[in-house]
């Protein structure tokens, strides 16, 4: 078994990259990740015959081999540059370098409302033609968690409750969250996903920073 405290310390990385170097990485890796997103959709939608599938597969493997020539061995972790620019680029919901992520660009207004407009392609399907309920959960977990951070109460998800009010289509969607209240050390945040016609999924999340995470963050800052 891995030890989460040790792992967490190793993966909180202060690499002192300059903003210019980080922007260069965004400009380099961001478009690659977008191309992989399109490949994911094409892999799901293709009806070409066997020779073409085998040709495409060989190209995909050639690309992966090039990228694997020099690569980190595990998850990306969370990294901070010299100016404090935080990179959670491996994040499954909003990671710039994670082709599984839609990705989300999450913003927070001065009044604390945290929101994102995003597009879900065919790779986020659950019921036929609709967004997977678990994908809605993934997005709401991220948006509610970011809202807790913006409210000054960062934490890991303690409880997440989702109410599916009507089917969530694929395509253009909106998600938002508002900080509701503190209950001791727990931050309670509420939000929803909506399409153009109204709310599809409502969510309430309780976010808590567990002691081991506070200790790991403190050790990382000290190091």
Cα-atom radius of gyration of the chain, to the nearest Å?
A: 19
The two tokens of residue 125 are 């399907």
Closest to a second copy by CB, 113 or 137: 137
Of 15-23, 109-117, 166-174, 181-189: span binding a second copy (CB under 8 A): 166-174
Cα-Cα end-to-end distance for the chain: 25
Subset of 86-125 contacting a second copy (CB under 8 A): 88-93, 95, 97-100, 122-125
Subset of 18-47 contacting a second copy (CB under 8 A): 28-29, 31-33, 35-36, 38-40, 42-47
Query: Are 113 and 176 within 8 A, CB to CB?
Result: yes
Closest to a second copy by CB, 67 or 182: 67
Query: Are 104 and 147 within 8 A, CB to CB?
Result: no
Minimum distance, C-beta of residue 22 to a second copy, in the bound complex (Å): 14
Minimum distance, C-beta of residue 161 to a second copy, in the bound complex (Å): 5
> Distance (Å, rounded) from C-alpha 143 to C-alpha 191?
8
Residue with the two structure tokens 């403190």? 218
Task: Examine residue 191 and tell whether it contacts a second copy (CB under 8 A).
Answer: no
């Amino acid at each position: 078994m891995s030890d989460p405290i040790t792992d967490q310390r190793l993966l909180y990385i202060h690499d002192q990259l300059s903003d210019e170097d980080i922007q260069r990485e965004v400009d380099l890796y961001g478009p690659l990740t977008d191309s992989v997103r399109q490949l994911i959709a094409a892999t799901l939608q293709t009806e070409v015959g066997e020779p073409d599938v085998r040709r495409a597969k060989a190209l995909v493997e050639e690309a992966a081999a090039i990228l694997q020539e020099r690569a980190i061995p595990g998850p990306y972790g969370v990294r901070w540059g010299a100016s404090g620019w935080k990179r959670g680029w491996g994040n499954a919901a909003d990671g710039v370098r994670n082709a599984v992520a839609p990705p989300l660009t999450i913003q927070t207004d001065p009044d604390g409302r945290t929101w994102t407009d995003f597009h879900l392609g065919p790779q986020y399907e659950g019921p036929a033609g609709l967004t997977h309920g678990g994908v809605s959960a993934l997005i709401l977990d991220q948006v509610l968690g970011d809202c807790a951070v913006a409210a000054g109460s960062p934490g890991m998800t303690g409880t997440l409750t989702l109410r599916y009010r009507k089917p969530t289509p694929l395509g253009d969607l909106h998600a938002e969250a508002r900080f509701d209240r503190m209950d001791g050390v727990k931050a309670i945040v509420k939000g929803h996903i909506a399409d153009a016609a109204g709310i599809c999924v409502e969510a309430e999340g309780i976010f808590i920073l567990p002691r081991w995470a506070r200790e790991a963050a403190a050790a990382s800052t000290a190091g």
